[in-house]
Structure 1
Amino acid sequence: MKVNSGLPYCSICVKAYIRSRHFMETQYHVRVYIYSIISIQSFMLLAGTAAFVHSSSFSSEVGKCNLDSDYDNHPKRVSAPCSWKFLMESYFEKHDSLMDSDIQAFFVHELHPATCEVIQQNLNSLLRMSVLHRNLIGEGSHRHLFSFLKFNVLSEATFELPAHFCEAIIIERLPHGIFADPFELQHLIERGVFVDAAVFGDTNLELPSVLSNRSIVEVHVDIGNNFLATNKEGVEIKLELPLHARYPPLDGSGYSEVEINKPNLFVHCSVNEPLQQQDCLWLLIDESTQLKTSTIVWRIPSGNEKHVKVVSLVTFTVALLSTLLIVLTSIYSSHVNKY
């Protein structure tokens, strides 16, 4: 009788123990799920930070002068002094400002080109820019800035010039909200599209427009050997620069507009004869040049301010329901596995 009377009590104890065990296992599954979410988010944050550091490091190295690199051994590379690898590098050695007026003043008044005795004429008397056409190719937030340049050789004295090699240097001063990817430019260099290229200024590819600063892209394009003496019908340069839009701030119209002004153009020539080895640099465009272009306007899609409350409410509701569904599924799954 004593044994039989103890059976119901033992049965209740077993059921209570099972319920307690199920509750503890459910809590364990919920904790594992929460820890997994936190771990994934932490990993993504660390990965993003590492990518940012690598991107910034790469971008800064692109603009530096490396005497040990294969830069001077490039088959299309002008044999220029190391300090001339990038013109903007010399600007940032003296200035921190990214204002157009400061950059333009540096080009006109502070950038002193080397004396060029072998080409004594001013290049502006040898060349005239007849066409400068620019437009954006593509749609959305990833587009190409297309530039078409044509130069006419005017002076007959160019036939007497020594052997030389020249390249065009295009400097694009990008506004807030637009950037060029240094990795993409490096790929174009490897394919031979550009002789060289560098990004200066804000090289963080992840920042939205409101937190970013301006950047400047310097591109070197091959013109060819003896182009001043042989290209009497003109020299044409076609350039496509890949650009990307940052996330713009909210706008009532659903679009954010940025303006891209005309670039600064230089011609850099190198004379490599045994008794004459010189480098010559000319600023090719000034304010008096008549250009067939206007300021380019890029309309970037942005979030609409009128939709902020609706989007926020829907996002919060979906996230909450998804979390509850995962927790309930975990609880139900633990009960099914036990029975």
Structure 2
Amino acid sequence: CSEIILRQEFLKDGFHRDLLIKVKFGESIEELQTCRLLIKHYIPTGLFVDPYELASLREKNLTEAVMVSESFNVEAPNYLSEESEVLIYARQDAQCIDCFQAFLPVHYRYHRPHKKDGDTLIVVSNPDLLMYCDQGEDYKVASTS
């Protein structure tokens, strides 16, 4: 793929937010209508995704996302947590022919108290993008990070 633009944006304020992921492809991929985009996202210890919330959203057909991490505690603070992994199928954006988007509800974990008032920095890395395009008898699989 010659050009891929990935944009991640947090929506809402507070401890309960939505991570909006938008992916725009350049002109190198023809007929994106036959393609599926899988986003493999690593969630840092300062955040968590509620697997029960994901199951509810899947039932309502609002998202196609699933937790990969098996031992997962939504109650644990960040210093007792591990990075988790989520797989999300992105949907094609109706307003952009070369675009896919997905949203993921995320929640902030509690952090250790510290003496100074201030913000806590949580770094959300770029996800892995895996694309499958069905081209009839021939098929293409593209993978990017």
Normalised to the residue count of structure 2, the TM-score between the two structures is 0.79
1:128 aligns with 2:17: no
d(CA) in 2 for partners of 1:152 and 1:234? 11
d(CA) in 2 for partners of 1:256 and 1:172? 21
1:283 aligns with 2:143: yes
Larger radius of gyration: 1
The code of the aligned residue for 1:242 comes to P
User: Which of 93, 103, 108 lines up with 1:240 in the alignment?
Assistant: 103
Distance 1:199 1:135, change over 3 A: same
Distance 1:219 1:262, change over 3 A: same
Which residue pairs with 1:199 in the alignment? 67
| Residue ranges of structure 2 left out of the alignment (5+ in a row) | none
SS at match of 1:189: helix
* Contact 1:151–1:234 (Cα < 8 Å) also in 2: no
The alignment yields a C-alpha RMSD, in angstroms, of: 2.6
d(CA) in 2 for partners of 1:192 and 1:279? 27
Which residue pairs with 1:261 in the alignment? 125
The code of the aligned residue for 1:258 comes to I
Post-superposition offset of 1:250: 0.9
Which residue pairs with 1:72 in the alignment? none
Q: Indicate the percent of aligned positions where both proteins have the same amino acid.
A: 24
Which residue pairs with 2:46 in the alignment? 177
Post-superposition offset of 1:256: 2.5
d(CA) in 1 for partners of 2:12 and 2:116? 21
Superimposed CA distance per residue, residues 273-313 of structure 1 (whole angstroms, 9 cap, x where no aligned partner): 5xx3x65421134xxxxxxxxxxxxxxxxxxxxxxxxxxxx
Which residue pairs with 1:119 in the alignment? none
Q: Which runs of at least 4 in structure 1 moved beyond 6 Å after TM superposition?
A: none
Higher relative contact order (CA 8 A, sep 6+): 2
User: Which of 52, 57, 70 lines up with 1:188 in the alignment?
Assistant: 57
Post-superposition offset of 1:259: 0.9
Superimposed CA distance per residue, residues 48-67 of structure 1 (whole angstroms, 9 cap, x where no aligned partner): xxxxxxxxxxxxxxxxxxxx
Higher normalized strand content (fraction of residues)? 2
Count of residues in Structure 1 that have an aligned counterpart in Structure 2 = 140
* 1:22-41 equivalence runs, <5 A: none
SS at match of 2:121: strand
Distance 1:141 1:253, change over 3 A: farther
* Contact 1:143–1:244 (Cα < 8 Å) also in 2: yes
Post-superposition offset of 1:200: 2.4
* Contact 1:166–1:269 (Cα < 8 Å) also in 2: yes
Distance 1:244 1:270, change over 3 A: same
| Residue ranges of structure 1 left out of the alignment (5+ in a row) | 1-123, 225-232, 286-339
Normalised to the residue count of structure 1, the TM-score between the two structures is 0.37
* 1:48-87 equivalence runs, <5 A: none
